[in-house]
Amino acid sequence: MPQQFFSFESELQNTTTEPSSSHCSSVQERLVTYGSEALDSSEHLGVILGSQRDANALLQHFGSLAILAQASVEQLLPFISRSKAIRLVSSLRMGAVTLREERQSIAIDSPEIVAELCTEMRFLDRELLRVVLDSQ
């Protein structure tokens, strides 16, 4: 596996800045070849939107992926088309659902784990009460 990592590093060093559409294509190729860990958040966002320029503009405006994840379709419309906004909101929501499902299998045996399990609540747009029952 380290051999692939070094190959990846040298490939990155030899790349040049390309127009948005071919950049997205090379990003997609890296995703397929090296897996999702080879992309940063901006590049994942660019793949979802089909435009790295749109991804960069959204991240610059909202400041972070965490704040962008709270945006509604209407809040995204000044920057991207309605169909892209719907796709993005849906994709970010699926990420939150996946995280919640993954966390359901964790043994809750310390206050730190309880706090960690509630971190995604910062992405909610309304108050939510969570109850943790001690079954011991």
Task: Give the per-residue pLDDT at 111.
Answer: 84
Task: Give the per-residue pLDDT at 13.
Answer: 36
Q: DSSP string of 48-75?
A: HHT-HHHHHHHHHHHSSHHHHTT--HHH
Angle between helix 52-62 and helix 20-34 axes, rounded to 10 deg: 90
Q: Which of 64, 66, 84, 82 is nearest to 74 (CA)?
A: 82
**E strand or H helix that includes residue 124:** none
Planar angle of CA 92, 95, 101, nearest 5 degrees? 145
Task: Give the per-residue pLDDT at 19.
Answer: 42
Q: What residues have CB less than 8 Å from 84, skipping those under 6 apart?
A: 49, 50, 51, 54, 76
Per-10-residue mean pLDDT, the chain, length 136 = 34 38 69 88 93 94 91 95 95 83 76 78 72 69
